[in-house]
Amino acid sequence: MPSGHTTADRNLTASMPPSTAVVATLARLYPFLRPALPRLVAGMLCALGASLCALSIPQVLEWAVNGPLLGSAAGGDRAGVWSAVLLVLGLGVLEAGMVAARRAFILFPGTRVEASMRMALFRHLQDLPLAFHDQWPGGQLLSRSMADLGQLRRWMSFGLIMLVVNTTTIGVGVGLMVHMGGILGVAYLCGALPVVYFSYRFSQRFRRISRLSQDQAGDLATTVEESVHGIRVLKAFGRGREAYQSFSAQADELRSTELSKARTLGGFTFAITTISEAVLGGCLLLGVWLVVDGQLSVGALLAFFATAAVVNGPVEQLGHLVSMTLYAKTAVDRYFEVLDTENELRDPARPIRPEKVVGDLVFDDVHFQYPDEPTPDQAWRDPARPSEAPRTEVLDGIDLHVRPGETMALVGLTGCGKTTMISLVPRLFDVTSGSVRVDGVDVREMSRHDLREIVSIAFEDATLFSATVRENVLLGAPEGQRSEADLDRAVTVAQADFVRDLPHGLDTTIGEEGLSLSGGQRQRLALARAVAARPKILVLDDPLSALDVSTEEAVTAQLRQELAETTTLVVAHRPSTVALADRVAVLQEGRITAVDTHSDLLAQNAHYRFVISSLSPEAETGAEPKAVV
């Protein structure tokens, strides 16, 4: 079962991304955080205020008991009791109010920052070229968009504030202890120093593990996605069990990582709890000795331990909060890893639009090789790693001129780079060298939006979105120019009239969430979509492969009429598709070796006959004639 591939399943310690400081990571958040900052600070202040109220209630209780009840004359001070009760009540209401205010303040920062970061990621992902998407598994992107940002929200709404409040409480508490206890306080402070060391070690280790667990969770999501997208294959071969075993193994790995995370956290919690408490035990002895020695009053000793009890809770929570912070930090790192991926296929600073769009398409000495970019896991594993793969160029100097209004077929063997070549026209990839020009303008000089309005493309494996037929067909039509007539025409040209018989006609929802269509039906809709976009240049990738002979004939006839004014580059595997074209270009070993009419090529070019003909002598031998090239 092949789906066991993971990006993080190697080993734990060997290779991790260069770890950045928590502060540096959080600084990256600043732009997103800035609008929310006032509320965040207000939330923290409220949290501190609430703790203050909580701390003072016991003091008031003690005062009430010692003061009005015991302190005054017999019979007690009823008015004093009432004021104490009111004070306690007031403080209690205030505390609850502060908690409510903290919650209210924090409502927006967490969710707003999450939403704006999620949108920024989505926008960036839509902007990044296909080369990026080819290499990043979907689950990894999804886990960054959902799990990681959710983590960040929870941390901002809870972890961050509690961390600040707890650190303040501990700081103030320890300060008070030093102030009240003198030597005792200093001893406590010194004794607690190892906690700092353990915190450091813990954070190093925990960061590594949490990164691993988040990566593994992303891989697991990828496997789930694949197991559903490939469900037909799995069912056809009855490989559900193997898929399950492979998924289980992966889920089990994630479990082990989570367990080692818990062990690390447990160890840390043990260390800080026992250290701080053992030191207190020592302080007890020291304190009693100091009292006996007359250097400390009993009251101060009691106050010291009372304060220690207040500090205790926050110290115990520290492990949890630090781990939450580290987890959020890793999430942010993972997020920025994607957001920082530079788009190498950008719009130019000053885009040019051809003065007159007539649809003149030129490939000028075009070279292309797939960027052997290190894959996402390698990127942080070893950036210096040279690619082992030989850098063979897919396209090795393409020269081709498709005149305005002309229909050019592109013929070549499977895998020779036809799809790659046509993908360069709407700039789904960029040339390595040379240029592709539309009406004299290099496609890299134009904005992608303008370019893709001029150039429309239909792929062989048609992607339909979960939307109505109408929306799917009009997907590429210029906004504001989507007429019912265009839709009708496109549907007719593509022989996609079957859509009119769907349960809700053109308003039937199709795609993953709707009605499933056959391959031929999908292909015809993709064709209709390309036609409806009313492009000046139409690029078709074997657009009729899934159609039967009679449908193909009808589509061809319609298309020929439709394409009279449109410059068309069509990848063809069959003579029937070639029939659409005025001229044919033969792509062979990365170059255009011949451009001519179908009949001339058939007569003169052995490679062409080999590729396209079923009846010629080349077809009979079944082997590529070597001599012609």
Contacts to another protein from residues 394-423, by CB under 8 A? 394, 413-415, 419-420
CA distance 219 to 144: 11
Provide the 8-state DSSP code for 564.
G
> 466 or 604, CB closer to another protein?
466
Q: How far is the CB of 342 from another protein (least distance, A)?
A: 17
Cα→Cα distances 413→386, 398, 624, Å: 31, 16, 10
Window of 20-28, 277-285, 329-337, 430-438 that interacts with another protein by CB under 8 A: 277-285
Q: Is 91 in the site for another protein (CB under 8 A)?
A: yes
- Residue 110 tokens, joined: 């967490």
Q: How far is the CB of 24 from another protein (least distance, A)?
A: 27
Q: Residue 534: what are its φ and ψ, rounded to 5°?
A: 50, 55
Window of 98-106, 174-182, 347-355, 400-408 that interacts with another protein by CB under 8 A: 98-106
Contacts to another protein from residues 428-447, by CB under 8 A? 428-429
CA distance 384 to 380: 10
Instruction: Give the CB-side neighbour count of residue 416, counting CA atoms within 13 A.
Output: 20
**Residue 16 burial (C-beta neighbours within 10 Å; 0-12, 13-18, 19+):** middle
Residues 6+ apart with CB under 8 A from 256: none
Q: Is 100 in the site for another protein (CB under 8 A)?
A: yes
Contacts to another protein from residues 7-66, by CB under 8 A? 57-58, 61-62, 64-65
Binding to another protein by CB under 8 A, coded x per residue (else -) over 550-579, reads xxxx-------------------xxxx--x
> 484 or 512, CB closer to another protein?
512
Q: How far is the CB of 23 from another protein (least distance, A)?
A: 26
Cα→Cα distances 91→69, 86, 98, 506, Å: 20, 8, 10, 65
Contacts to another protein from residues 122-181, by CB under 8 A? 122-123, 125-127, 129-131, 133-135, 137-139, 141-143, 145-147, 150, 153, 157
* SS3 letters across 37-78: HHHHHHHHHHHHHHHHHHHHHHHHHHHHHHHHHHHCCCCCCH
> 407 or 456, CB closer to another protein?
456
- Taking Cα atoms as reference points, which of 482, 479, 481, 508 lies closest to residue 496? 508
Q: How far is the CB of 300 from another protein (least distance, A)?
A: 11
# chain residues binding another protein, by CB under 8 A: 194
> 37 or 288, CB closer to another protein?
288
- Which listed residue (208, 211, 261, 536) binds another protein by CB under 8 A? 261
Window of 33-41, 84-92, 188-196, 203-211 that interacts with another protein by CB under 8 A: 84-92
3-class SS of residue 540: strand
- Which listed residue (329, 529, 534, 536) binds another protein by CB under 8 A? 529
- Which listed residue (99, 189, 339, 379) binds another protein by CB under 8 A? 99
Q: Is 197 in the site for another protein (CB under 8 A)?
A: no
Beta bridge partners of residue 436, listed in sequence order:
363
- Taking Cα atoms as reference points, which of 398, 353, 363, 408 lies closest to residue 566? 408
Q: How far is the CB of 228 from another protein (least distance, A)?
A: 4
- Which listed residue (199, 273, 432, 558) binds another protein by CB under 8 A? 273
Q: Is 119 in the site for another protein (CB under 8 A)?
A: yes
Q: Is 543 in the site for another protein (CB under 8 A)?
A: no
- Which listed residue (25, 330, 456, 567) binds another protein by CB under 8 A? 456
- Which listed residue (41, 298, 564, 629) binds another protein by CB under 8 A? 298
Q: Is 603 in the site for another protein (CB under 8 A)?
A: no
- Which listed residue (461, 507, 565, 600) binds another protein by CB under 8 A? 461
Identify whether the C-beta of residue 208 lies closer than 8 Å to the C-beta of residue 264: no
Q: Is 221 in the site for another protein (CB under 8 A)?
A: yes
Q: How far is the CB of 327 from another protein (least distance, A)?
A: 11
Cα→Cα distances 30→24, 113, 117, Å: 10, 10, 11
Q: How far is the CB of 230 from another protein (least distance, A)?
A: 4
Q: Is 196 in the site for another protein (CB under 8 A)?
A: no
Q: Is 107 in the site for another protein (CB under 8 A)?
A: yes
Q: How far is the CB of 20 from another protein (least distance, A)?
A: 25
Q: Is 348 in the site for another protein (CB under 8 A)?
A: no
- Which listed residue (350, 386, 388, 561) binds another protein by CB under 8 A? 388
Q: Identify the residue whose tokens are 């793969």.
A: 389
3-class SS of residue 297: coil
Q: Is 239 in the site for another protein (CB under 8 A)?
A: yes
- Which listed residue (297, 466, 483, 597) binds another protein by CB under 8 A? 466
Q: How far is the CB of 279 from another protein (least distance, A)?
A: 9
Beta bridge partners of residue 568, listed in sequence order:
407, 538
Identify whether the C-beta of residue 590 lies closer than 8 Å to the C-beta of residue 421: no
Q: Is 326 in the site for another protein (CB under 8 A)?
A: no
Q: How far is the CB of 34 from another protein (least distance, A)?
A: 18
Q: Is 616 in the site for another protein (CB under 8 A)?
A: yes
Q: How far is the CB of 295 from another protein (least distance, A)?
A: 14
DSSP assignment string, 191-244 = HTHHHHHHHHHHHHHHHHHHHHHHHHHHHHHHHHHHHHHTHHHHHHTT-HHHHH
- Which listed residue (44, 48, 84, 537) binds another protein by CB under 8 A? 84
Helix residue ranges per DSSP H, 395-493? 418-423, 448-454, 469-473, 484-493
> 336 or 465, CB closer to another protein?
465
DSSP β-ladder status, 441-442 and 583-588: unpaired
- Taking Cα atoms as reference points, which of 595, 578, 567, 516 lies closest to residue 543? 578
- Taking Cα atoms as reference points, which of 538, 523, 524 lies closest to residue 452? 538
Contacts to another protein from residues 583-602, by CB under 8 A? 598, 602
Q: How far is the CB of 21 from another protein (least distance, A)?
A: 26
Q: Give, for 387, the enclosing helix (H) or strand (E).
A: none
Q: In what order do the strands lie in the sheet with 407-411?
A: 455-458, 537-541, 567-571, 407-411, 583-588, 591-596
Q: Identify the residue whose tokens are 């030597």.
A: 183
Q: How far is the CB of 461 from another protein (least distance, A)?
A: 6
